[in-house]
Amino acid sequence: MAVCRGIQTIAYTIVNGSYVQKAPSELQDKVKDKTLITVDSVGAFQKLPMVMPSVDVFYSAMKKAKRVPPTKGIANIAKRERNKGAKQLDTLMKELAVSLRTYKENFPKKHHLHPYERSLVDLTLGDGNYEEVLKKVDALRKKVVSVGKEHASLCAQVGVPS
């Protein structure tokens, strides 16, 4: 019996589990502690997203925007086409903004990187360039959203020519 207990304790340290039951309050404390700890591990560069070229992002968004139909039930052809144009502009804006947002979110913040990787970023890109590029991507996303909303609104409000 003592040999089995020794094996269980060794296995517990390896798999972080136990064959001996603990009180529920101890387990809850352990779970709370694990959620508070953020592990800085080497390998963040392996998790970087694959960034598509801008032309590919744009053409992909254009392809999705072309497939947007007008709202059903609009009898007037001019109103239907205005509606279709506004919806296409809105879809184009959303597709571009989503890809920019995912790129920004998937790149790790510099202060979350392992110290080795943080210094590697500084040496490779220079001090502050990494954050500056991420800020520019976010500013571009915000500009795309504002211009897209403005032009979609203008497209929907265009009057019928005489």
Q: What is the pLDDT of residue 102?
A: 94
pLDDT digits (tens, 9 = 90+) for 23-59: 555 555 555 555 443 545 678 788 888 889 999 999 9
**Which one has a higher pLDDT value, 133 or 17?**
133
Q: What is the pLDDT of residue 53?
A: 93
Query: Mean pLDDT score of the chain, rounded to an integer?
Result: 80
Q: What is the pLDDT of residue 156?
A: 82
Q: Where are the domains of the chain?
A: 2-36, 44-157
Query: What is the rounded average pLDDT of the residues 87-109?
Result: 93
pLDDT digits (tens, 9 = 90+) for 123-142: 998 888 999 999 999 999 99
3-state per-residue secondary structure call for the chain: CHHHHHHHHHHHHHHCCCCCCCCHHHHHHHHHHHHHCCCCCCCHHHHCCCCCCHHHHHHHHHHHHHCCCCCCCCCCHHHHHHHHHHHHHHHHHHHHHHHHHHHHHHCCCHHHCCHHHHHHHHHHHCCCHHHHHHHHHHHHHHHHHHHHHHHHHHHHHCCCCC
Domain 44-157 has CATH 1.20.120.1190: yes
Q: What is the pLDDT of residue 92?
A: 95
Q: What is the pLDDT of residue 35?
A: 47
**Which one has a higher pLDDT value, 60 or 23?**
60
